[in-house]
């Protein structure tokens, strides 16, 4: 075989490892969650409705393709995305959104008839956050909030929301967000809040989108 041809075949074969690794819907979901913050296998299995064994197998494929890294912390092994992987995931998501019409159709069907799901004017929201005119709720799990959140947001995980209702202002608009446009935590939060008499809307973008737009994200409590 021509050396140049062999070189190109070998190079593209290595590139294809990434494509094979992300060809599974569940592995894409795992990457999406890991881009919110490092997680254990057990936690990821619970989030994705997979068995621990299946989750471990998917993570091993991602690890073999150098898309995730692992570290032992106490009794648990935690996984995190490798450098540049979240940017890659976001770019892939945007290409899919622009090229595959079914994505928008599926999203619209799911959100149809749900109050408070209309897109929010981002510039207006940023100004209102600065002026303390809205309450921003981060309804993701606490470890994701600690890994990074929108400035001014309050951590109220969805599972705790009903218990926290009495502490939320009814006269101020509430904006809930989670992991991005395909995360259902904020959808459920907004539905619950509006049912209980609050004025709540959903921010479609998550922390990964916020960061990609150059908007401020902070970590910690």
Pairwise CA distance, residues 6 & 4, whole Å? 5
Look up residue 85 and give its DSSP letter: H
Dihedrals phi, psi of 5, to nearest 5 degrees = -65, -40
**DSSP assignment of 118-160, as one string?**
SPP-HHHHHHHHHTT-EEEEE-S-HHHHHH-EETT-EE--GGG
Catalytic site residues?
Answer: 178
Pairwise CA distance, residues 218 & 158, whole Å? 20
With CA atoms as reference, report the closest residue to 203 among 117, 131, 126.
117
C-beta of residue 77 within 8 angstroms of C-beta of residue 71: yes
C-beta of residue 193 within 8 angstroms of C-beta of residue 172: no
């Amino acid at each position: 075989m021509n050396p140049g041809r062999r070189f190109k075949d070998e190079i593209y074969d290595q590139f294809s490892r990434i494509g094979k690794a992300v060809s599974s819907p569940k592995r894409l979901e795992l990457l999406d969650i890991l881009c919110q913050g490092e997680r254990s296998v057990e936690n990821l299995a619970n989030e994705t409705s997979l068995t621990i064994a299946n989750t471990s197998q998917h993570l091993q494929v991602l690890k073999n393709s150098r898309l995730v890294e692992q570290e032992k912390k106490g009794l648990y092994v935690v996984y995190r995305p490798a450098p540049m992987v979240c940017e890659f995931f976001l770019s892939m998501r945007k290409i899919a959104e622009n090229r595959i019409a079914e994505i928008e159709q599926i999203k619209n069907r799911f959100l149809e008839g749900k109050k408070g799901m209309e897109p929010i004017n981002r510039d207006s929201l940023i100004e209102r956050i600065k002026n303390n005119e809205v309450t921003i709720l981060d309804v993701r799990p606490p470890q994701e909030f600690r890994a990074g959140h929108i400035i001014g947001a309050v951590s109220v995980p969805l599972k705790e929301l009903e218990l926290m209702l009495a502490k939320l202002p009814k006269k101020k608009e509430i904006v809930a967000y989670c992991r991005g446009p395909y995360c259902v935590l904020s959808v459920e939060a907004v539905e619950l809040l509006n049912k209980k008499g609050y004025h709540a809307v959903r921010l479609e973008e998550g922390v990964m989108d916020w960061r990609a737009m150059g908007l401020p994200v902070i970590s910690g409590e």
